[in-house]
Chain A
Amino acid sequence: MSSNDASVDRLCAAWRAQPAPMLSLTPEQLAAQHAKLRVSLRRSLIVEYVACAFVLGWVALRWWYVPGGWLTKAQYVATIAAVLFVAHGLRKHLTGYGAPPAGADLLSFQRASLERLRRSFLAAWRWYLLPFAPTFVLAGIDRWFFQHHPLRSIEVDHLHILGGMAIAAAIAGAVALWHRIAARRLQRAIDYLDNFGGHRG
C-alpha cells in the first residue's frame, strides 16, 4: 500500500469514527412532521390567496366608487383576470408540481431539480409579470387620452405618463433580466452535470 493510500484510508477511517448522533423518529413524530409540512404549505398558499383577495377587494371597491368609462372598466376586468391567473400559477408552483422523485439516482435528481428551477425562472415573467401588461397598457391609454392631470399642461402630462410607463417597464425588464441571469447560471450547472461523464443508460 502506498503512503498516499494510507493517508486516504486514515482519512476515511477518521470520517466514519466521528461521533454521530443517532436519530430515529417515532411514528407519532413523523406524523406530526407530516402535519407540520401540510400546514406550512397551506399557510404559504393562504398568504398568497389573501394577497390576491386584497387586490381583488381593492379593485371591486374602486369599481363600486369610481366606475368610470369603458376603458376604466376594461382595466378592472384585466386586473381581476391577471390576479386570478397569478393565483393559479402560484398554486401550481408552490405545491411542488413536477418535482423529481426522492429516490431517483443523484445525477438525475440534481439535473431535474436544476432544470425545474431554470424553467421556473424563465417562465416567471410570463405568469407573474405579463398578466399585468394589459392593465398597464390600458391605464396608459386611459391617462394619455382621457384622464389628464388638472394642474398640468397636456405636453407636461404626457411627459409624466411616458416617464411613469418607462419606469414601470424598466422595473419589469430588470426583474426579467435578473431571472434570465439566474437561469443562465443554472444552465451552467446543468451543463456541468451533462459533461460529468459515465451516465448509466
Chain B
Amino acid sequence: MTDRPTVNDLYEQAAAGFGGALARLARAYEADPDQQRDLLQEIHFALWRSFATFNGNCSLRTWVYRVAHNTGASHAQRRQRLKLDKMTSIDELAALEVPDPDDPTRRAEHRDELARLMALVQRLRMPDRQLLLLYLEGLDAEQIGEICGLTGGAVATKIYRLKAALAKRFHKGGPL
C-alpha cells in the first residue's frame, strides 16, 4: 500500500516549487502592493483548500496554475466587474498603436520594461492575460493548453500572435 500525500504535504511541495511563479502571478492580477500581499495569501490558501479535491488526474504544476489563476481571475473580476468591456484581447493588442517614442512624458513613464509589460498584462482580458502569463513563465503550448482547457494548436496560434504583438512593442531599440 502506498501512502497518499496529505493536503499539507502537497501544499508544501507546491509552495516550494511554484512560490516565485505565484508571487509574480499575484503581481500581475493586482497593482496595489497591499492588495497584492492579500491576494498572494488568498492564492496560497485556495491552493491548500483545493488539495482536498486533488485526485491526481493532472500534474501538480497544472493544478497549481489552475487554482492560482482561477483565484486571481475571481479577484480581478471582483475589482474590475464594470470594466469588462474596456479590457483588450491579444488580437486587439497587435492592432493598437505603439506609444509615441518622441513623447518625453511617455518615455519617462515607460522607462522600465517590466513596468510596461506589467501594465500591458493588466490591460489584457481573461483568458488572454492568463495565456500571456503562462507563456512568460516558460510553459509550452501543450502545458498551457492543459491548464487553460484549450488544444495545443489553438494555444500555439495565440502565442504566435502574442509574440508578434510583444515584439512590436518591446523590440530592442524600438519605441519605448
Contacts and interface: CB of A to CB of B under 8 A. Distances in A.
A23 B15 contact: yes
A105 interface: yes
B151 interface: yes
Interface in A104-129: 104-110, 113-114, 117
B85 interface: yes
A101 B53 contact: yes
B48 A30 contact: yes
Interface string B148-176: 11110111010000011011001110100
Contacts of B114: 14-15, 18
B36 to A, nearest CB: 10
A63 to B, nearest CB: 41
A114 B76 CA distance: 12
Contact of A185 (B40, B84, B125): B84
A151 interface: no
B49 A20 contact: no
B148 A106 contact: yes
Interface residues of A, number: 50
B127 A193 contact: yes
Contact of B19 (A14, A22, A105): A22
B8 interface: yes
A24 B16 contact: yes
B103 interface: no
A192 interface: yes
Contacts of B21: 20
Given A23-B40, A105-B148, A106-B148, A16 B138 contact: yes
A22 B155 CA distance: 29
Which among A8, A21, A101, A106 has the highest number of chain B CB atoms within 10 Å?
A106
Contacts, number: 169
* Interface residue range, chain B: 35 or more
Interface in B93-123: 113-114, 117
A27 B48 CA distance: 9
Interface string A185-198: 11011001100111
A4 B151 contact: no
Given A8-B170, A23-B23, A105 B113 contact: no
Contacts of B16: 24
B73 A200 contact: no
A182 B82 CA distance: 8
Contact of A106 (B53, B149, B163, B171): B149
Given A33-B41, A107-B127, A21 B23 contact: yes
15 contacts: A3-B167, A3-B172, A5-B167, A8-B163, A11-B136, A11-B166, A15-B24, A20-B19, A20-B20, A24-B12, A100-B70, A103-B67, A106-B130, A196-B150, A196-B154
- Sorted nearest first, the 5 A-B pairs with minimum C-beta distance are A198-B154, A105-B149, A20-B23, A4-B167, A24-B15
